[in-house]
A and B are shown apart, each in its own frame.
Chain A
Amino acid sequence: MNFDFTEEQLMIQQAARDYAQRELIQDVLEREEKAEFPARHVKNLAELGFLGMMVSPEYDGAGMDSVSYVLALQEIAKVDASVAVIMSVNNSLVCYGLQRFANEEQKQKYLKPLARGEVIGAFLLSEPEAGSDATHQHAVAEDKGDYYLLNGTKNWITNASSASVYIVMAQTHPDKKSRGINAFIVDKNTPGITLGPHENKMGMRSSDTHSVMFSDVKVPKENRIGEDGFGFKFAMMVLEAGRIGIASQALGIATGAFERALAYSQERKAFGTEIFNHQSVAFKLSDMAVKIENARNLCLKAAWLKDNHQSITVAGAMAKQYAADIAMEVTTEAVQIHGGYGYVKEYHVERLMREAKLTQIYEGTSEIQKIIISRSLIKE
């Protein structure tokens, strides 16, 4: 066992921290209030290499490991979870999916600009009637010989209007059920694609979320990822890796709230002393610290397994479920410690609390993670 980070990992953590504490913090409240996409920050983070962190340098990525990715996402999410989710979708869903499963031509054409962060991507799986249960895809991709004809609606799509590249899952062979699903790389500006209105969300308001409608959209045959019918497996394997991203984001949200509550508890006085000196507050912080440490260890363990090419099915689910759930708990307590100040926007913790909620819902709800974990318990 070795819990030490490498010099590079620490430098990446510091770089992410510097960017978050110097730049993101400046306008996070304003962007969140206006639900404004952080275009400038995405561009800066791309230049620093944060949008294709784990893509190999051969395809213009930074070639970093997953442990670095966890550390970086945590720092970004401490300050701005919206930016963290943009990063997470691009890195661990879109880039990861293409790097692992796309063919050489697809990588040259699509992965490279995505890894450089010149364009960003979106991952289109959820549907109005299929969120957690992805086996039933209503979107259809009809095989028309040299192209597919795509029809249907996708819901809750992060980066929907900012992305240039879509990865879309749709049903080609309904009789084969999930084995008939395909995954496609779709240029967003293909005719027939329209966006629903910007979702007016409770939190992570500056990431742009829309529904996306496909109406007779022609997708070239060469844009299918993998063999015919590989789409569902593709989506599941990508989501599995993606959990590390969302778990790290949740961990960051929790850490951000914790650090603010800890600092506040040493400044704010009540009954003649800093409130940290009241056991009721100190013990809350102690509980929060333990939860964060656990979540961090789960995230890093999952990342380590991935870096060492071992299965992350269970570890990723555990990290995602636990980190999301404790993010909700920790942020709620952070608001409580701040008292009335915690309920106003300037103090950030109410925002972190709203952001935490989404981590329990998207990319597999906590309940879905528990299904995965519990099933693994009785497997041979």
Chain B
Amino acid sequence: MSVLVYTENWDGKFKKLSYEMVSLASAIAKQMGITVTALSIGHVADDELKSLGKYGANKVLNVQDNRFESLDNKALADAVAKAASKEGAKVIILAHNNEGKAIAPRVSVKLNAGLVSGVIGTPLSVNPFVVRKKVFTQKAFANIQIKSDIRVLTFAQNSFEIVENNVDTAVEVYDPQIADGEFNTKVLDTHKITGKVLLSDAEIVVSGGRGMKGPENWGGLEELGELLGAGMACSRPVSDEGWRSHEEHVGQTGKMIAPNLYLAFGISGAIQHLGGVSSSKVIVAVNKDPEAPIFEAADYGIVGDAFKVIPQLIEAVKEMKTA
């Protein structure tokens, strides 16, 4: 019996969240007295696969099958469910992101398992199996019991610290034997943003709102973002106006993010915006309006003109880096 983790990689490396999930799985496995199996689909080098052992993976299933590159939801779910059955998985953990959200519900039906999405941290108890998540778009927490014997969780990024926990790890090449007919999604075109920090994986996010007055004023923000190695984000009006691409829109109807540091410039902080960012560990707000609701949610704030503040911040970060 095991806890199965559906890991994700990017350019041949595991994403940070994969380590978070393996750490979490390891904590759950200990509580339940079972082992951890990580499932890796795609091209990841052996050393990198083995690195999961550092966080507690007893076994890594290495699936090398280019057909999965189309991210066919049905075929992927099939593969995960087969791996879960093979490993006698009692708990299956996926990320609460585009990929995890696409697969988890299908996996849960296949395994006759209960699903909870967006789980934060470790279960409150494993018998009964009770987990915690945010509901009402970040406005409250709920404790939910999963009543089935097998449980599927999608894990809210940044809600569990990576813990080192060296174990011996066995890498096993695995072929879930999915028939060609199961792959029905055909990719016609892929547009990948390269060289940029992934917003969903970013530890620091720099974000601009309507207060930035126009797309021509993003230069300072981008410079700051680059210095900090940050992902770039924006509020809804900004993406609605077409100042920035909608991939950058964070908020209740855009992307939900949970970085360590969220820096908001010229964003008033409508409740729908806060819904998407309030899981950030530290929120910084710069806004001209002292009454802007963003200051209610922020940990640090400056009442003032973003255009005056940004150059100072850029300078200070440069100084900090050279110090």
Provide the bound-state CA to CA distance between A268 and B291, in Å: 7
With both beta carbons as reference points, the residue of chain B lying nearest to A264 in the complex is identified as: B291
Provide the bound-state CA to CA distance between A264 and B291, in Å: 9
Provide the bound-state CA to CA distance between A267 and B268, in Å: 13
Total number of A residues with any Cβ neighbor in B under 8 Å: 4
Interface set, chain A 254-304, CB cutoff 8 A to B: 264, 267-268
Chain B residues with CB under 8 Å of chain A are: 291, 293
Provide the bound-state CA to CA distance between A341 and B291, in Å: 10
Residues on A with beta carbons closer than 8 Å to the beta carbon of B291: 264, 267-268, 341
5 A-B contacts, Cβ less than 8 Å apart? A264-B291, A267-B291, A267-B293, A268-B291, A341-B291
With both beta carbons as reference points, the residue of chain A lying nearest to B293 in the complex is identified as: A267
Interface set, chain A 336-376, CB cutoff 8 A to B: 341
Residues on A with beta carbons closer than 8 Å to the beta carbon of B293: 267
Chain A residues with CB under 8 Å of chain B are: 264, 267-268, 341
Provide the bound-state CA to CA distance between A137 and B73, in Å: 77
With both beta carbons as reference points, the residue of chain A lying nearest to B237 in the complex is identified as: A26
Provide the bound-state CA to CA distance between A267 and B293, in Å: 8
What is the interface of chain A mostly: helix, strand, loop, or mixed?
helix
Smallest CB-CB A-B distances: 5 pairs: A267-B291, A268-B291, A267-B293, A341-B291, A264-B291
Provide the bound-state CA to CA distance between A264 and B293, in Å: 11
- Shortest distance from the beta carbon of B311 to any chain A beta carbon, whole Å: 26
Provide the bound-state CA to CA distance between A267 and B289, in Å: 13
Residues on B with beta carbons closer than 8 Å to the beta carbon of A341: 291
- Shortest distance from the beta carbon of B81 to any chain A beta carbon, whole Å: 43
Residues on B with beta carbons closer than 8 Å to the beta carbon of A267: 291, 293
- Shortest distance from the beta carbon of A57 to any chain B beta carbon, whole Å: 35
Provide the bound-state CA to CA distance between A194 and B291, in Å: 48
With both beta carbons as reference points, the residue of chain A lying nearest to B291 in the complex is identified as: A267
- Shortest distance from the beta carbon of B287 to any chain A beta carbon, whole Å: 13
Provide the bound-state CA to CA distance between A341 and B290, in Å: 11
- Shortest distance from the beta carbon of A266 to any chain B beta carbon, whole Å: 11
Provide the bound-state CA to CA distance between A261 and B55, in Å: 54
- Shortest distance from the beta carbon of A322 to any chain B beta carbon, whole Å: 33
With both beta carbons as reference points, the residue of chain B lying nearest to A346 in the complex is identified as: B289
Provide the bound-state CA to CA distance between A268 and B292, in Å: 10
Provide the bound-state CA to CA distance between A268 and B293, in Å: 11
Provide the bound-state CA to CA distance between A242 and B293, in Å: 40
Residues on B with beta carbons closer than 8 Å to the beta carbon of A264: 291
With both beta carbons as reference points, the residue of chain B lying nearest to A341 in the complex is identified as: B291
Provide the bound-state CA to CA distance between A110 and B121, in Å: 68
Provide the bound-state CA to CA distance between A125 and B293, in Å: 48
Residues on B with beta carbons closer than 8 Å to the beta carbon of A268: 291
Provide the bound-state CA to CA distance between A267 and B291, in Å: 7
With both beta carbons as reference points, the residue of chain B lying nearest to A26 in the complex is identified as: B237
Provide the bound-state CA to CA distance between A268 and B290, in Å: 10
- Shortest distance from the beta carbon of A270 to any chain B beta carbon, whole Å: 12
- Shortest distance from the beta carbon of A259 to any chain B beta carbon, whole Å: 15
- Shortest distance from the beta carbon of B210 to any chain A beta carbon, whole Å: 10
